[in-house]
Amino acid sequence: MIPQLVTVGYRRPGGRWLRLYIPVVPVLLVLSPLLLLAVLAGLIACLVLRVSSVEALRGMQVSPVGALRGLGGLLWALPGSQLELEDGQTAFLIRVR
């Protein structure tokens, strides 16, 4: 399952927590037009430079399918991750659910 909610928190020296809850799917939906634009820009750049995007990855000896699968696997495995750092009155946390 892809991450649903990412929580980023920061506790200031005063002791007050500042928490940011990021719902991943809605944010991705909102940003999807930008992602689409970025992909299009990349493809246009490949066309202008007369470089095949697949060949560009192959030139680096990276399998495009393998790279996508690897990144997908990484994204899929993220839920449950947690990082909490606390030093005196300052603290920082990231939780992925």
Q: Count of residues for the chain?
A: 97
Q: Would you count residue 70 as binding other proteins (CB under 8 A)? A: yes
The residue among 32 and 82 lying less far from other proteins, judged by its C-beta, is 82
Cβ 35 to other proteins shortest distance, Å: 20
60 binds other proteins (CB under 8 A): yes
CA–CA gap between residue 15 and residue 26 (Å, rounded): 31
Q: Indicate whether 79 belongs to the interface with other proteins (CB under 8 A).
A: yes
Two tokens, residue 88: 């005196």
The residue among 38 and 83 lying less far from other proteins, judged by its C-beta, is 83
Per DSSP, helices labelled H in 1-97 are 24-48, 53-59, 64-77
